[in-house]
Amino acid sequence: MSGYPKIVHTEEGMREGLQIESANIPVDAKIRLLDALSDTGLKEIAVGSFVSPKYTPQMAVMEELVTRFTPRPGVRYVYTALNDKGRERAAAYTPPLSRKVLEYATRVDMCDVFAQRNTNRSVAQQVAAWPKTIEQALAKGATEGCMSISNAFGSNWSGEVTLEQMMHMFDRMHRQWEDAGIEVTRIGMSDAMGWNMPHQVEQRVAAIKERWPKIRDFNLHLHNTRGTALASIYAAIRMMDGNDTLRLQSAIGGMAGCPYCGNGRGAGMAATEDLMHMLQEMGIDMGVDLYKLIEAVWLAEEVVGHPLYGFVSKAGPRPRFDKLYAMDMPHIETLEQAKHFIKGPQAYEGAHSPWSKPITSWMRPEAPQGSAAETAPDLRAAAGGKA
């Protein structure tokens, strides 16, 4: 394999994130957050869900939100709608919402308990719906299909899902598509309960690619319930090449959750700032301004009223060039002081500073090249002669 897959990313903070937060967050605050996200360079943002406020009161202000926010050119604004009424509501605001990409997908949950809690349908009912989906695809002249499995790694109620169990279910779907003469080109694995492990992601991607080499488009929707989502995403990237597409979802600050899985806000997602930082450092340019993204995370913390769960929003990106820290800065001990990477020296004003004189070093680009540099030739050589 050569090169990295094409990464298609969707920001889920406004949907997955806010749906588990207080229903009393003012719409003005939500608009500020959506506008801030729009200015970060993110290419696709989920703005929320057109669903019944009876079940998800956090989404009761969708019409006002999409009427008043400021859309940015080049950003796709997507949404969730689970029935015809929801789709009709969203259609009235398209644009600025982006038109849905028509996709015919057979779907099933690997946990019958979660299926009933989440969709009020059993696994048997989900499987029984496959033929209708495929008939609709045939009627519209579709030449490509998609198959997707939820809770692909395990369930809090029924335990681990083995590779064999998952592949058996995919096989059943694939045969129905094949019998209809429609090629499956896209596949999805979702994990609302956070059972993903990197080695299992590797095994599943490898098995799919071996069984169906023509499937080159993967969607991976992972929750970070047990802290493995980012590692699992990395594992998936390493199993793919430049001919593949990997679709990923994450949420700023890692804010997300699921009221149906038993973990609540504990069922967060990979933090978008952590994911974008990792991709950037791997040489995968997503066009995102990390510093603006971090400021959006700080705004999100203000909006929801509590700290969020990412790491890069607290320590900052790995500093480069003009972002390198001041050498004689005082002791940095609190999270507020650590925000100096954006806020500057005012973030640590008054902090304890034991240095009796300024600290200088040959390792910094601005340092004079003299006798000090000659005292550490091995380090300079190891650094390639520069910082």
Mean pLDDT by groups of 10 residues along the chain of 387 residues: 88 94 94 98 94 84 93 94 83 88 87 86 93 94 94 94 97 96 96 96 97 96 96 98 97 92 89 98 96 98 96 95 90 94 93 89 69 51 52
- Evaluate the omega torsion of the peptide bond into residue 95 and state whether it is cis, within 30 degrees of 0: yes
Task: Give the relative orientation of helices 229-238 and 198-211 as an angle to the nearest 10 degrees.
Answer: 30
Q: Is there a contact between 167 and 206 (Cβ–Cβ < 8 Å)? A: no
pLDDT for the residue numbered 379: 53
Separation of alpha carbons 286 and 43, rounded Å: 8
CA 61 to chain centre: 24
pLDDT for the residue numbered 102: 67
> In a 3-state reduction of DSSP, which class is residue 324?
coil
> Which DSSP helix (H) or strand (E) runs through 179?
helix 163-179
CA 349 to chain centre: 35
Q: Walk me through the domains of the chain, giving residue ranges and CATH numbers.
A: 6-315 (3.20.20.70), 328-382 (no CATH)
Q: Flag whether the pTM goes above 0.85.
A: yes
CA angle 346, 351, 355 (to 5 degrees): 110
Closest CA to 130 of 103, 107, 159: 107
Region of residue 277 (left: phi > 0; alpha: psi -120 to 50; beta: else): alpha
DSSP, residue by residue, 195-225: ---HHHHHHHHHHHHHH-TT--EEEEEEB-T
Q: 147 forms bridges with which residues in the sheet?
A: 106, 187
Which residues in 110-177 belong to E strands, given as ranges?
A: 144-150, 154-155, 159-160
pLDDT for the residue numbered 101: 75
Torsion sign, CA atoms 196, 201, 207, 211: positive
> In a 3-state reduction of DSSP, which class is residue 30?
helix
pLDDT for the residue numbered 275: 98
Total Cβ atoms within 10 A of residue 203: 17
Separation of alpha carbons 285 and 274, rounded Å: 14
Separation of alpha carbons 66 and 48, rounded Å: 9
Which tokens hold the place of 319? 């500093």
DSSP, residue by residue, 7-26: EEEEE-IIIIIGGGS-TT--
pLDDT for the residue numbered 380: 53
Give the phi and the psi of residue 335 in degrees, each rounded to 5. -65, -35
> Which DSSP helix (H) or strand (E) runs through 279?
helix 272-281
